[in-house]
Amino acid sequence: MENLHHILKKYWGFDSFRPLQEQAIASVLSGRDTLVVLPTGGGKSLCFQAPAVAMPGLAVVISPLISLMKDQVDHLTACGVPAACMNSSLSSQERRAVEDRIREGSLKLLYVAPERLVIPDFLERIGRSAISFFAIDEAHCISSWGHDFRPEYRRLQILKGTFPDVGIHAYTATATAQVRDDIIRELHLQAPEVLVGSFDRPNLQYRVERRGDLLSQVVEVIARHPAESGIIYCISRKNVDELCEELTVRGHRALPYHAGMDDRSRKCNQEAFVHEQVEIIVATVAFGMGIDKPNIRYVIHTGIPKSLEHYVQESGRAGRDGLPAECCLLFSDGDLVVWRRLLSEDGPSRQIALRKLDDMADYCHSGLCRHKTLVSYFGEEYAKENCTGCDNCQGVREGVADSLIIAQKILSCVIRLGERVGAEYTTAVLTGSREPRVIERHHDKLSTWGILSTVDKSKVRGWIDQLAAQKYLERDGEFRVLRVTDSGRRVLKGETSLHLTDPTVKSPRRTKFAPVAGGDSRDTALFEHLRTVRRRIAEKLNVPPFVVFADTVLRDLSSQRPTTTATLRLIRGIGERKIDQFGEEFLRAIREHAPVETNDGLPAVQVRSLTGARRKAADLFKQGRPLEEVARLIERAPSTVSQYLAEFIQREGITDPTPWVDQLTQNRIRSSSVHVGLAALKPIFEDLKGEIPYDTIRLVVACLRNENPTVNRVGEGI
């Protein structure tokens, strides 16, 4: 494992592993079979890529899509890891070149599709090489209980019999307990170590809205993410083409993607999106599984997906880099009718699909925390009372004051109707309908007939859906007959409380992302400049921009502004190969965009000429005004004014941050700087476990640098 840490830093530029990565890697090194379930963006790939570099021999990675293989191979190659793929997109000359590298033993990772791997001739050829292990990516595809079952994955059963002494390791982002059991059984894994990470994605903000003016709703989301990448999912090809055309007419750079297009057009549009030639892809669910693009900032569903597994997989394509991203679901109850009509086959598989569709409907109608609902579905407990990252926890919907009484009226009506009808009919009775079917059955004589006649039908129907979502009601059989659960009977007795929301009213309060640890301290103009530099390099190399550097790296570069190779190494996510390839070009861009003026040539707080807002801020700081007041007076964000204050501190030679930072916080930062030095903010931030924001650290560090102008910041305390 000590060697693994060296490999992690050298090739990927990371100082430490994420949760469960180290255990997963240790299992690979020991030769024990493994099943790893980590959410999208949780670092699954590193669990097999890092040990492949450390172990002798060739690691064979089974991957379902050519585009996914290419992205991963490009990324590994950029990091300096010998990797290749073998698929139908290669020319005969390229294929022979890969085969030569396999024979020479110069490859560490080989990516192949399941169909190719199980061809006897291919198995025999790679069997002549020293195989370190097999890694099966997207392993949920092997399970008929999964949301993306692929029959060709079942043929991977032969691996354990053909290579009994070689470890087999399965990786997936979305797998219920049932799917996990299926994977182990179908792959014949021997006493595997099963590692299941948290399914929660705290950087994602979930929003669910009833579909109204679709175009306006979609444009509203896009407007929150100018010039950022997003995916818009539609149920039908026709919807894709129409919405894409409307967005294009309005000036958005968008392209379509669906199975009705020819292969070449689909490939070109996908590559244009991945290479950031367009910001938006409008697609059916045929798009996305092979997309390794980490900086997708929003995913919009314009209809209900078939299951929560599908939704988690598709929405999870947002924010893979760990930065904030938005997942917006626009739905109509008519979507459920469409899906049920498409589920034409009879038998157990139809019943499974209907249950999954009910779970998806419950998610849409629920007034409960979205994060909690999603992780609970996969069997994980969610400890937080309020996630602060979904519409329900942010109070977007108006609560109903007399929720318990309304619920008791609805549940009573379901019982008086004999628990033999569905939601639409129950709504009709509750609202006092005089439809012939109600009169003929004499249900207008029930005590619950018209008990909610003063309420709009859409509200009553919404409350029924919410009660089902909260498991006080259940839907049964082909006709989705309502039945009161044991929990619902406790509600009737007044033994429990519940919360209903008004499904027709949305609070005017704007929703915002939960704050990210440490805040966003980047220089926005520099960040955009570095994106341009990254795009130029990527075009020259013919790789996606994220292969050069992730957005997280660009944020750190624009925040910390390293100006030497030594300080560039302190940025998380930059390995030695990338420093050699791209380092000087990015350092030059940083120097040219915002020269750093220090006495010793080491990076410090940026000093700029005093013009405009900076001059006003400096005058106010001299008057002793607090940061928040200065931000309000000059109409700038507090994070921006914090930067101005740090510059002011450095320029004036201030060594005491007491006017802006309390003594306890000062002491913690000072103590940390003794261990990790003053060259950059991030080591201090990480040493303090993210408990103190970057903006605060910057102010104290500026004072410490003034206090110790000749200190060897890079090596101090090491």
Cross-strand partners of 590: none
Q: What is the pLDDT of residue 604?
A: 42
pLDDT of residue 83 exceeding 60, the answer is yes
Q: Which of 80, 108, 105, 111 is nearest to 9 (CA)?
A: 80
Are residue 249 and residue 358 in the same domain, yes or no?
yes
Are residue 589 and residue 615 in the same domain, yes or no?
no
Choosing from 437, 471, 506, the residue where a domain stops is 506
Are residue 41 and residue 27 in the same domain, yes or no?
yes
Lowest mean pLDDT among 394-408, 502-516, 688-702: 502-516
Map residue 134 onto helix, strand or coil: strand
- Average pLDDT on 335-351 reads 75
d(CA 701, CA 699): 6
The domain of 150 spans: 2-196
d(CA 589, CA 581): 14
d(CA 134, CA 116): 14
- Average pLDDT on 624-644 reads 80
- Average pLDDT on 448-471 reads 91
d(CA 173, CA 162): 27
Per-position b or e across 83-101, b if 16+ CB within 10 A of its CB: bbbbbeeeeeeeeeebeeb
Task: Tell me the chain's radius of gyration from C-alpha atoms.
Answer: 29
Residue 455 belongs to domain with CATH number: 1.10.10.10
Choosing from 595, 623, 647, the residue where a domain stops is 595
For 611-626, the pLDDT digits (tens) are: 467 778 888 888 888 8
Question: For residue 140, what is the DSSP state?
Answer: G
φ, ψ (nearest 5 deg) of residue 562: -65, 150
Are residue 541 and residue 580 in the same domain, yes or no?
yes
For 598-610, the pLDDT digits (tens) are: 333 334 444 444 4
CB atoms within 10 A of CB 220: 12
In a domain, 245, yes or no: yes
pLDDT of residue 653 exceeding 90, the answer is no
Map residue 331 onto helix, strand or coil: strand
Are residue 645 and residue 665 in the same domain, yes or no?
yes
Are residue 574 and residue 609 in the same domain, yes or no?
no
Residue 565 belongs to domain with CATH number: 1.10.150.80
Looking at every residue in the chain, the average pLDDT score rounds to 85
pLDDT of residue 50 exceeding 50, the answer is yes
Are residue 133 and residue 215 in the same domain, yes or no?
no
Residue 240 belongs to domain with CATH number: 3.40.50.300
Confidence label for 586 from pLDDT (cuts 50, 70 and 90) = very high
In a domain, 384, yes or no: no
More confident call, 478 vs 299: 299
In a domain, 383, yes or no: no
Q: What is the pLDDT of residue 14?
A: 85
Q: What is the pLDDT of residue 234?
A: 94
Are residue 257 and residue 355 in the same domain, yes or no?
yes
Q: What is the pLDDT of residue 611?
A: 47
Are residue 34 and residue 181 in the same domain, yes or no?
yes
For residue 157, count CB atoms less than 10 angstroms from its CB and return exposed for 0-12, middle for 13-18, buried for 19 or more: middle
Map residue 108 onto helix, strand or coil: coil
In a domain, 76, yes or no: yes
% of the chain residues with pLDDT over 70: 91
In a domain, 386, yes or no: no
Cross-strand partners of 232: 282, 300
Pairing between β-strand 473-476 and β-strand 481-484 as defined by DSSP bridges: antiparallel
Tokens 């030639």 correspond to what residue? Answer: 277
Question: For residue 599, what is the DSSP state?
Answer: S
- DSSP assignment of 384-437, as one string? -S--SSBTTTTT-EEEPTTHHHHHHHHHHHHHHTTT-S-HHHHHHHHTT---HH
Q: What is the pLDDT of residue 147?
A: 52
Are residue 470 and residue 448 in the same domain, yes or no?
yes
Q: Is the dihedral of CA 138, 139, 144, 150 positive or negative?
A: positive
User: The tokens of 441 are what?
Assistant: 């059955």
Q: What is the pLDDT of residue 680?
A: 74
3-state secondary structure 481-525: EEEECHHHHHHHCCCCCCCCEEEEEECCCCCCCCCCCCCCCCCHH
- DSSP assignment of 6-38, as one string? HHIIIII--SSPPTTHHHHHHHHHHT--EEEE-
pLDDT of residue 29 exceeding 90, the answer is yes
For residue 122, count CB atoms less than 10 angstroms from its CB and return exposed for 0-12, middle for 13-18, buried for 19 or more: middle
d(CA 309, CA 305): 9
- Average pLDDT on 406-415 reads 95
CA torsion, ordered 555, 299, 199, 42, to nearest 10 deg: -40
In a domain, 390, yes or no: no
pLDDT of residue 511 exceeding 80, the answer is no
Q: What is the pLDDT of residue 446?
A: 93
d(CA 502, CA 459): 7
For residue 246, count CB atoms less than 10 angstroms from its CB and return exposed for 0-12, middle for 13-18, buried for 19 or more: middle
C-alpha distance from residue 241 to each of 290, 305, 331, 717 (Å): 21, 19, 19, 60
Question: CB under 8 Å to 370, separation ≥6 — which residues?
Answer: 206, 208, 363, 387, 389, 390, 391, 392, 393
Instruction: Return the H-helix or E-strand segment holding 198.
Output: none
For 281-340, the pLDDT digits (tens) are: 999 977 765 577 889 999 999 999 988 988 988 998 999 888 899 999 999 888 888 888
Q: What is the pLDDT of residue 205?
A: 94
Alpha helices (runs of H) in 31-175, residue ranges in sequence order: 44-54, 66-79, 92-104, 114-117, 120-127, 151-154, 158-162
Backbone φ/ψ region at 167: left (φ over 0), alpha (ψ -120 to 50), beta: beta
Q: Name the domain count of the chain.
A: 5
Lowest mean pLDDT among 61-75, 212-226, 602-616: 602-616
For 153-209, the pLDDT digits (tens) are: 888 888 998 999 999 999 988 777 888 998 999 999 999 999 998 888 999 999 999
Residue 708 belongs to domain with CATH number: 1.10.10
More confident call, 641 vs 517: 641
pLDDT of residue 595 exceeding 70, the answer is no
Tokens 């309060």 correspond to what residue? Answer: 509
Are residue 273 and residue 210 in the same domain, yes or no?
yes
In a domain, 662, yes or no: yes
Tokens 């409307």 correspond to what residue? Answer: 246
In a domain, 74, yes or no: yes
Backbone φ/ψ region at 90: left (φ over 0), alpha (ψ -120 to 50), beta: beta
Cβ atoms of 360 and 311 within 8 Å: the answer is: yes
pLDDT of residue 627 exceeding 70, the answer is yes
pLDDT of residue 352 exceeding 70, the answer is yes
Question: For residue 443, what is the DSSP state?
Answer: G
pTM of the predicted model over 0.75: no
d(CA 568, CA 602): 11
Query: Maximum CA pair distance of the chain?
Result: 93
Are residue 434 and residue 370 in the same domain, yes or no?
no
